[in-house]
Structures are given as structure tokens and as C-alpha cells.
């Protein structure tokens, strides 16, 4: 059975959530023994991260670099994010489906956009954070870590769902609907365009325009990770993913990852490089690259 173990060499896994968390957690990301500089690409998905060993150094809002080892949450990242992981760093992240953030948190994802916020600050009412940290640090493999994190999230989800049934439900937009004109989407929900824009911003932390832009980028990146590009493949990929042309796609990739598509994948081929987060084993790859954006 494939697994990450604290006694093994560096390893990265993506693990699908249990059925009850489907539609809320996209997947669990496990990073084991992965020190050094890393570049986190832009993503529409918020994340909740617990360190099992080590920590991460990155610059805060004041520009000063600090070591972070406490649980934290990020909203959508609209640009690449550099960090340095300490020796022995191992962590488990729950990657939250874009638009599902409100099912777990009261804070709007827009308030966490491009930010790393201690979980205790973003969710002060969440019980059991120290107990979960202890459980995770006492575990020895990814199966145990994911089980503990899943149980904790399910308890939180059950508590939130009970409250949400009595209040306003988070706005959820089927990702493929983003391909439709804004006016048509608003008509399908029976609301005005202005109301639609407000609800999308509240649930996704981005405007409709920016959500569409990121959807194209994520779709293209997922296909690049899933299948190596052949000669001339970038032009076809750009058209298939909704770009006007290859130059249009290159501009977005530079914004979101810091590199043009081909240079990005060349850099990702280095297992110890800063873009190693784009490298997954054969079992993990379909979980990360499934297309429902």
C-alpha cells in the first residue's frame, strides 16, 4: 500500500477524502520530509494545514520572514507564493473545494486571499485544535493523519451544517457554469448580475472575471501535470482551455506560477527543486488533476 511514513525518504501524496467530505475537501495533500525552498503556485482552493514535523519560513504582511509551525489557513492564492521548509518538514493539508469554504468557516475567503493566517485566529470557535495537533504528531503514516484530520473536519462540518440550515446557505456555483455568460448565470439563479457578483465574491474570494481566468489556468495546469506535453502541444492546450492564443496562456502562467508553461514543467521535473509541488506519483496524479473546474 502506498503511504507516507516518517521513516521513509521524501514523499508527496494526494489522498481523496471520505465520501462524507466530498464536495467540501477536494483532496488531502501529504508532504513528508521535504526541506528547502519551494514555490507554491496560485490556486483557487483555500487550504488548512497542520505541521507534523518542522515548519515553514515565509514573509508575513509586514515583509519580515518568520518560521511558522502552528496550523494555518489560506484563502485563494492569486499569485505564486515562495517559502522555505525546515529540515524534516512534514505536513498534512486539507485542500478545500473553491466555493465550499463557507461550509467550514465564518470568515469570508476574500479576507484570507493571498494571506496565511493562524487557524486559531481564523476559526477561534473551532474546538480541539491542540488535541488534533497532538494526534497528528503521534501518528506515523499518512493513513493515520488523514483519518484524524477527516474526523475533525467531519465534526466541524456537522456542527456548521446544523447552523447553516437555520441561516443563509453559502452560494455555490457549479464550476462548469463559469463558461456561460454572466447574464445567463444570473438568470438561472433568478438574481441580478450585481447580486451574482456579490455572492461569488463572498463565497470564492474572487470576482467572476478572476474566477474564470483562474479556471482556465487550473484546467491547463492540470492537463500538463496529467500528460506530458508533446511538440506543438501548447497551442492546442491553450485553445482547449479557453485561451485566445498561446501568448494569452503564457501571460497567465507567469502571473500565477512565475514561469511560462514549458519552463514550469521543466523546472517541476527536478524532484528537489522549488516547483516539486507539481510532481505526483501515478496514484496521486488523477486525484489532483481531476477536471471539474
Strands (DSSP E) along 173-270, which ranges?
A: none
The confidence score (pLDDT) of residue 93 equals: 97
Bridge partners, 48 (sequence order): 73, 94
Residue 258 CB neighbours (<10 A): 19
Q: Averaged over 273-278, what is the pLDDT?
A: 89
What band does 170 get if pLDDT is binned at 50, 70 and 90? confident
What band does 1 get if pLDDT is binned at 50, 70 and 90? very low
Asked if 84 and 58 count as a contact pair (C-beta separation under 8 A), the reply is: yes
HSE (side-chain half, CA atoms, 13 Å) at 46: 32
Please give the model's pTM, rounded to 2 decimal places. Answer: 0.91
Higher pLDDT, 45 or 268: 45
pLDDT tens for residues 4-29?
Answer: 765 555 689 999 999 999 999 999 99
pLDDT tens for residues 198-210?
Answer: 999 988 999 999 9
CATH of 11-164, one of 2.60.120.10, 3.10.20.600, 3.30.70.1520, 2.40.30.110: 2.60.120.10
Provide the grid cell at 13. Answer: 501524496
Provide the grid cell at 133. Answer: 495537533
Q: Is 182 exposed, middle or buried (0-12, 13-18, 19+ CB in 10 A)?
A: middle
The confidence score (pLDDT) of residue 265 equals: 87
Provide the grid cell at 116. Answer: 496565511
Q: Averaged over 21-46, what is the pLDDT?
A: 94
Phi, psi (deg, nearest 5) at residue 99: 95, -15
The confidence score (pLDDT) of residue 8 equals: 55
Burial annotation 88-110 (CB, 10 A radius, 16+ → b, else e): ebbbbbbbbbbbbbbbbbebbbb
Whole-angstrom distance, CA of residue 114 vs CA of residue 205: 10
Amino acid at each position: 500500500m502506498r503511504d507516507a511514513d516518517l521513516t521513509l525518504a521524501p514523499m508527496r501524496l494526494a489522498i481523496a477524502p471520505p465520501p462524507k467530505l466530498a464536495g467540501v475537501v477536494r483532496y488531502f495533500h501529504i508532504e513528508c520530509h521535504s526541506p528547502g525552498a519551494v514555490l507554491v503556485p496560485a490556486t483557487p482552493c483555500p487550504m488548512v494545514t497542520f505541521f507534523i514535523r518542522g515548519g515553514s519560513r515565509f514573509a508575513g504582511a509586514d515583509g519580515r520572514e518568520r518560521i511558522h509551525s502552528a496550523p494555518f489557513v489560506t484563502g485563494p492564492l492569486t499569485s505564486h507564493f515562495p517559502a522555505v521548509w525546515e529540515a524534516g518538514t512534514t505536513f498534512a493539508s486539507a485542500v478545500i473545494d473553491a466555493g465550499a469554504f463557507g461550509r467550514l468557516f465564518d470568515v469570508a475567503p476574500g479576507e484570507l486571499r493571498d494571506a496565511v493566517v493562524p487557524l486559531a485566529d481564523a476559526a477561534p470557535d473551532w474546538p480541539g485544535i491542540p488535541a488534533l495537533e497532538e494526534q497528528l504528531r503521534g501518528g506515523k503514516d499518512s493513513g493515520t493523519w488523514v483519518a484524524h484530520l477527516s474526523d475533525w473536519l467531519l465534526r466541524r462540518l456537522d456542527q456548521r451544517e446544523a447552523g447553516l440550515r437555520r441561516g443563509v446557505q453559502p452560494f455555490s456555483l457549479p464550476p462548469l457554469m463559469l463558461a456561460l455568460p454572466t447574464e445567463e448565470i444570473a438568470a438561472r439563479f433568478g438574481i441580478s448580475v450585481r447580486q451574482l457578483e456579490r455572492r461569488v465574491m463572498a463565497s470564492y474570494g474572487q470576482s467572476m472575471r478572476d474566477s474564470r481566468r483562474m479556471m482556465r489556468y487550473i484546467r491547463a495546469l492540470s492537463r500538463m501535470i496529467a500528460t506530458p506535453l508533446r511538440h506543438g502541444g501548447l497551442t492546442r492546450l491553450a485553445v482547449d482551455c479557453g485561451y485566445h492564443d498561446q501568448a494569452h496562456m503564457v501571460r497567465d502562467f507567469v502571473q500565477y506560477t512565475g514561469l511560462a508553461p514549458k519552463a514550469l514543467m521543466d523546472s517541476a521535473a527536478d524532484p528537489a527543486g522549488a516547483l516539486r509541488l507539481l510532481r505526483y506519483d501515478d496514484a496521486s496524479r488523477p486525484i489532483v488533476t481531476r477536471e471539474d473546474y
